[in-house]
Structure 1
Amino acid sequence: MIVLFEKMAMLVILLALGYLCARMKLVGPEFNKGLSKLVMNLFLVAMILSSVINKDMELSGSEALTGFLMLTLMVLICLGIGFISPTVLRIKNGDRGMYRMLVSFMNNGFMGFPLVAAIYGEGAVFFASLSNIPFNLLLYSVGVMFLREDGQGEKFKLKDAINTPMIATLIAVIIFVFKIPMPTLIDDTVDTIAAATVPLSMMCIGLSLGSVSLKDAFVHPRLYALSFMRLVVAPLVVWFIMHFFVTNPVILGTIVVISACPSAVVCTILGIENGRDGIESSEAVFLCTVLSMITIPLLVSILNL
């Protein structure tokens, strides 16, 4: 318990450093945009590949397949909770689509993978990365459809769902299934790059939230309600269903931790691209991210994950 809180505290400090750098204008939006692309296309990719290259995986092929199906079910469960959330929270028309997205889609990449690595070790990152496939396909299809409820938004494009981490996940699956050995030079290089993923990812989240006012983020009651749905209701429902089927404690813990992550920053980006106001969604992501630093270790401890 103490070790977990220490790891979460480290992540909070890294996130806070990124936020302070943005608020103090040490770096600008263009820097964060470039850093986000670098983290997404290089460091997260290295973290995913590092989890399987020349590693003695305790995960069997059948467990990986079962885990992928369970991760897909987890994403679908969160999607269902997100769909009904505007009705439960009594959100007015015009905001319902964005609230559905914010509750449905968690920050599995920038937040989830570093968390899983910190709690369960690098070996669990490969398993966690399998969530990229259903997550991206549903985010850019159903997620964008949520934004079109008032006639806004673009149609689903398959190319939008295929990003670099998803490709890295498919490559990692091939390496895992066929047990492809890699030269030590490549192994060491990938491991070295992957080691920078956690601090850069957390600072990147902090930088992206730097435009949000602390005062504004903490005064809206319905943002707390949204955060409760995303951070508490969703992972508890996921755990309740999954614990009947998943016996491996690391796999169960990984699934629940991913489902307990705060709303994805990409929800705000997609909302802005589809004609929505990004202010409230940015505040929601900020509040949700801050509160997750409390809720995730509590869930892991209470559920004995």
Structure 2
Amino acid sequence: MALFFILLAIGFLTAKIGIIKKEGMGQLSQLITKVFLPTLIFSMTTTSVTLDLVRDNAILLPLSMGVYATLAAVALAIAKILRVEHDRDRVFQFAFIFGNTGFVGFPLLTAVFHETGTLFMCMFSVVDQVLFWTYGIWLSTARGRQGAGFNVKMLASPNIIAIILALIVALSGLTLPDLVSSALSTVSRATTPMCMLFLGAMICFNKVGQTLKRPDSYALIVVKMVALPIMASLCASALGLSADIIGCMVLYIALPVMTVVPMVSAQNGSEGPYATGLAVMTFVACVITIPVVAFVAL
């Protein structure tokens, strides 16, 4: 977490002194979402997923669908109850549903649960990425923008293509040449710092302080990052799931807002600053909320 804050600060400072320029943020965002992230997804899946693991843990797929359906329903209800403004209500749901799986979830779960954590993240990532680059993109797009509705072309995003290709490679037992694997791994390792630098620059260029005054920001932290993980633990225990799976699911739900949410929101509408504020607030809050949830629920 301390490393993430340092990278965030570097991004802020480089934007402040003009190394990263506001007019170049669009191109930087495109580079991250269409090159670095697909490479990370492909590399992570091909090195961690096998046919036997998928078959033996098939329950994780319907479990992940249930988790995302619950998050989507709760996010919609909160947006309606708090009467979040037009378009901002969708971005709120977008931020609520999708946690920071790649940059906080994966290192956290693999450190705590080792092989179980790696498998859990890979299986959940299949559903996560398909939903993110379809339903998530729709949520992030301003209602008045051309093509704001669902478009089948969303299914051809670089990230979904990366998932499909990675599953074909992993489940067929193919092995990539060492040089190719090394190149993909090198690019993948650059994804986290690039995202954090971008987020730091967005904080510099946009006024995110207004987010601190909004009740929906605190509702996201309290409900999504504390209440729902604890409730999920109780439900999963009643279903008889293993302790490791319960622990992975609890920490997964408790994750802060995905770092890519502000980038995509900025690309597809005018709520980039709001999404950035949510990402920063939840990132700071998770230093406290994740240990609290772990102590109460695990």
Q: Which one of 275, 280, 291 corresponds to residue 286 of structure 1?
A: 280
Match of 1:65 in 2: 58
What do residues 168-224 of structure 1 show as CA deviations (whole Å, max 9, x unaligned)? 111221222111122222222222222223322333332333334464443444422
Q: Which one of 156, 178, 196 corresponds to residue 202 of structure 1?
A: 196
Query: Is the deviation greater in 103-112 or in 154-163?
Result: 103-112
> Whole-Å Cα distance in 2 between the matches of residues 81 and 63 of structure 1?
31
SS at the partner of 2:150?
coil
Match of 2:135 in 1: 138
Query: Is the deviation greater in 69-78 or in 285-294?
Result: 285-294
Matched, 1:259 2:286: no
Match of 1:129 in 2: 125
Q: Which one of 187, 192, 195 corresponds to residue 193 of structure 1?
A: 187
Classify 1:164/1:296 alpha carbon distance in 2 versus 1 (closer, same or farther; 3 Å): farther
Classify 1:55/1:154 alpha carbon distance in 2 versus 1 (closer, same or farther; 3 Å): closer
8 Å Cα contact 2:16-2:204 kept in structure 1: yes
Match of 2:68 in 1: 75
> Whole-Å Cα distance in 2 between the matches of residues 248 and 279 of structure 1?
40
Match of 2:20 in 1: 27
> Whole-Å Cα distance in 1 between the matches of residues 218 and 248 of structure 2?
25
Matched, 1:241 2:235: yes
8 Å Cα contact 2:71-2:97 kept in structure 1: yes
> Whole-Å Cα distance in 1 between the matches of residues 264 and 43 of structure 2?
30
Q: Which one of 30, 34, 38 corresponds to residue 41 of structure 1?
A: 34
> Whole-Å Cα distance in 1 between the matches of residues 228 and 147 of structure 2?
26
8 Å Cα contact 1:72-1:134 kept in structure 2: no
Q: For residue 200 of structure 1, what is the amino acid of its counterpart?
A: M
> Whole-Å Cα distance in 2 between the matches of residues 121 and 55 of structure 1?
12
What do residues 93-128 of structure 1 show as CA deviations (whole Å, max 9, x unaligned)? 535444333323334455545555665569445334
Classify 1:63/1:295 alpha carbon distance in 2 versus 1 (closer, same or farther; 3 Å): farther
Query: CA shift at 1:252, angstroms?
Result: 4.3
What do residues 104-154 of structure 1 show as CA deviations (whole Å, max 9, x unaligned)? 33344555455556655694453342121233332245x369x65x99982
Query: CA shift at 1:72, angstroms?
Result: 1.9
SS at the partner of 2:277?
helix
Classify 1:239/1:152 alpha carbon distance in 2 versus 1 (closer, same or farther; 3 Å): farther
Q: For residue 34 of structure 1, what is the amino acid of its counterpart?
A: Q
Query: Is the deviation greater in 237-246 or in 68-77?
Result: 237-246
SS at the partner of 1:181?
coil
Provide the TM-score with structure 1 as the length reference: 0.76
Classify 1:233/1:291 alpha carbon distance in 2 versus 1 (closer, same or farther; 3 Å): same
Q: For structure 1, list consecutive stretches of 5 or more residues without a partner in the other structure.
A: 1-7
8 Å Cα contact 1:52-1:175 kept in structure 2: no
Alignment of 1:287-302 (within 5 A): 287-302=281-296
- Aligned-pair identity in percent equals 23
Match of 2:178 in 1: 184
8 Å Cα contact 2:99-2:257 kept in structure 1: yes
> Whole-Å Cα distance in 2 between the matches of residues 99 and 252 of structure 1?
26
Q: For structure 2, list consecutive stretches of 5 or more residues without a partner in the other structure.
A: none
The count of aligned residue pairs is 293
Alignment of 1:223-238 (within 5 A): 223-238=217-232
Classify 1:233/1:41 alpha carbon distance in 2 versus 1 (closer, same or farther; 3 Å): same
8 Å Cα contact 2:195-2:260 kept in structure 1: no
Q: Which one of 146, 149, 155 corresponds to residue 155 of structure 1?
A: 149
8 Å Cα contact 1:43-1:194 kept in structure 2: yes
Match of 1:5 in 2: none
8 Å Cα contact 1:15-1:206 kept in structure 2: yes
